C-alpha cells in the first residue's frame, strides 16, 4: 500500500485520521494543506514525515518563476521553515529538509530550471531510499525473530508510517513472509490509538494473527503469556542510543527488561541525530489536551481538567537490546556502534 506518493505535480496520501473505518485519499499541490496534514497526523510516522517534507518543498517551489537562483533558494528556505514548524520531534523531517536545502547550496552554477528538476529528483530519491531502507531493516531484523515468535509492538510502524513497508513492522512482515509462525500483540497506543486503528488494520490485511491489548495490559501479557521479543520504531535516536518514540514505549521497555524479553528498536539511519548527545536533549512534542479529554469526540474527563500530553518519551539506551537499521544491527555500546554503523555500508551486524 502506498501511503504517500508523488503524482503529476501533486502529493497523494491516505488520511490516517479516518482509518480504519474509511480509506480516504487526499491529493494536493498546496503546501499549506500538506503542512496541516502533518500537524493533524493525517500523515504521520517519522520516515513518512521525511518523505512528505521533501515533497512539500517541491510543491511550494515548482510553479515559482524566479529570476535568480538566490530567489529560488530563499523560497526553499521559507518553505523548509514552514514545514519545520509542523512537528518538532521526528528527526527524518529535518533530515529531509536539510537534503532539499543542500540541492540549492551544492549547485550554484546551475539555472533555476535545472534546480527545479534537481529538487524533484531529490524528493523522489528520498522516497525511493526510504522504501529500500524499510526492506533492508526487514531483512536484517527478521534474523533475530525466532520461529515461532510472539511479538509485542507499540504504535504504528508500517507502510502508513513510512515511504515503504515499514520499520519495526517490516521486521514482522518479513519474518512472516519467510514462513515463520508469527503472532503479534499490538498496544492500543493512547491517546490517538495508532496501534488499534492502524497497526491492526495493516497486519490484518497481511493475514498476520494480531491481538489488540490496551497499553496497560503489556505487563500482564509478558508475565502470563510468552512474548519472545518487543519491536518498536523510533522518531529520533540520540548519539548514545537513547530512543525517542511514541509515548508509552519507555513503559514497554521497562516491562520487557523486568521479564527478560529482548527489546528491539527499528529505524533507518535518517532517524539518528548525532547532534543530540542523549535523549534528554531531544525536543518532545506536546499535543492538544483535547486529544486526551475528548479523543474521538467523546468527553472522558471533566471540563477544565489539567492535562499533560507528550507525544513521545525517551527510552534510555541500557533498556535496548539492539537497534536494527538498514545498515545492519547495532548493538551496545551504542555510542560506538552507531558511529561505525553510520560509517559503513549495508554490511550487516556491527
Chain residues that interact with ligand MRU, rule: CB under 6 A:
41, 44-47, 90, 155, 157, 161-162, 167, 194, 233-235, 245-246, 311
Alpha-carbon distances, residue 42 vs 85, 163, 288, 335 (angstroms): 16, 14, 15, 34
Identity of the residue, 56 or 233, whose beta carbon is nearer to ligand MRU in the bound complex: 233
* Cα-based torsion angle of the residue sequence 47, 51, 52, 56 in order, rounded to the nearest 10 degrees: 150
Beta-bridged to residue 294, according to DSSP, are: none
Catalytic residue among 130, 235, 242, 273: 235
Nearest partner of 220 among 262, 170, 258, judged by Cα: 258
* C-beta separation of 163 from 127 below 8 A: yes
Smallest distance from ligand MRU to CB 71, Å: 33
- How far apart CA 312 and CA 235 sit, in angstroms, is 8
Nearest position to ligand MRU, beta carbon: 233
Smallest distance from ligand MRU to CB 73, Å: 29
Q: Tell me 286's DSSP state.
A: B
How are the residues of the chain apportioned to helix, strand and coil, as percentages rounded to the nearest 5?
Answer: 45, 15, 35
Identity of the residue, 60 or 266, whose beta carbon is nearer to ligand MRU in the bound complex: 266
Smallest distance from ligand MRU to CB 58, Å: 22
Smallest distance from ligand MRU to CB 31, Å: 19
Smallest distance from ligand MRU to CB 160, Å: 9
Cα angle vertex 213, ends 152, 221, to 5°? 60
235 is a catalytic site residue: yes
Identity of the residue, 49 or 227, whose beta carbon is nearer to ligand MRU in the bound complex: 49
Q: Tell me 63's DSSP state.
A: T
Identity of the residue, 44 or 116, whose beta carbon is nearer to ligand MRU in the bound complex: 44
Identity of the residue, 150 or 265, whose beta carbon is nearer to ligand MRU in the bound complex: 265
- How far apart CA 300 and CA 284 sit, in angstroms, is 25
Nearest partner of 164 among 203, 208, 119, 129, judged by Cα: 129
Catalytic residues: 235
Amino acid at each position: 500500500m502506498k501511503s504517500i506518493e508523488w503524482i503529476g505535480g501533486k502529493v497523494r496520501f491516505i488520511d490516517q485520521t479516518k482509518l480504519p473505518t474509511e480509506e480516504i485519499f487526499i491529493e494536493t499541490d498546496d503546501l499549506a494543506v500538506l503542512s496541516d496534514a502533518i500537524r493533524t497526523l493525517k500523515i504521520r510516522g517519522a520516515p513518512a514525515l521525511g518523505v512528505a517534507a521533501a515533497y512539500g518543498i517541491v510543491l511550494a517551489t515548482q510553479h515559482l518563476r524566479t529570476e535568480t537562483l538566490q530567489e529560488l533558494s530563499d523560497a526553499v528556505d521559507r518553505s523548509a521553515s514552514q514545514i519545520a514548524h509542523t512537528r518538532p520531534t521526528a528527526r527524518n523531517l529535518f533530515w529531509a529538509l536539510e537534503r532539499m536545502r543542500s540541492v540549492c547550496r551544492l549547485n550554484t552554477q546551475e539555472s533555476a530550471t535545472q534546480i527545479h528538476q534537481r529538487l524533484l529528483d531529490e524528493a523522489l530519491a528520498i522516497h525511493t531510499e526510504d522504501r529500500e531502507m524499510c526492506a533492508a531493516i526487514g531483512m536484517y531484523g527478521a534474523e533475530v525473530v525466532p520461529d515461532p515468535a510472539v511479538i509485542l509492538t507499540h504504535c504504528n510502524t508500517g507502510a502508513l508510517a513510512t515511504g515503504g513497508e515499514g520499520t519495526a513492522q517490516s521486521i514482522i512482515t518479513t519474518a512472516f513472509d519467510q514462513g515463520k509462525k508469527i503472532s503479534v500483540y499490538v498496544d492500543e497506543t493512547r491517546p490517538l490509538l495508532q496501534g488499534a486503528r492502524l497497526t491492526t488494520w495493516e497486519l490484518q490485511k497481511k493475514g498476520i494473527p494480531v491481538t489488540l491489548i490496551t497499553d496497560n495490559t503489556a505487563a500482564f501479557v509478558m508475565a502470563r503469556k510468552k512474548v519472545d521479543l518487543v519491536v518498536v520504531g523510533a522518531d529520533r535516536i540520540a548519539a548514545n542510543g537513547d530512543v525517542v518514540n511514541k509515548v508509552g514505549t519507555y513503559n514497554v521497555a521497562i516491562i520487557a527488561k523486568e521479564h527478560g524479553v529482548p527489546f528491539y528498536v527499528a529505524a533507518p539511519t535518517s532517524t539518528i541525530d548525532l547532534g543530540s548527545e542523549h535523549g534528554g536533549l531531544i525536543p518532545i512534542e506536546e499535543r492538544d489536551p483535547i486529544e486526551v479529554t475528548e479523543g474521538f469526540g467523546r468527553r472522558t474527563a471533566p471540563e477544565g481538567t489539567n492535562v499533560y500530553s507528550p507525544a513521545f518519551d525517551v527510552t534510555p539506551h541500557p533498556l535496548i537490546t539492539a537497534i536494527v537499521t538498514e545498515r545492519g544491527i547495532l548493538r551496545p555500546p551504542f555510542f560506538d556502534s552507531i558511529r561505525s554503523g553510520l560509517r559503513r555500508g549495508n554490511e550487516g551486524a556491527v
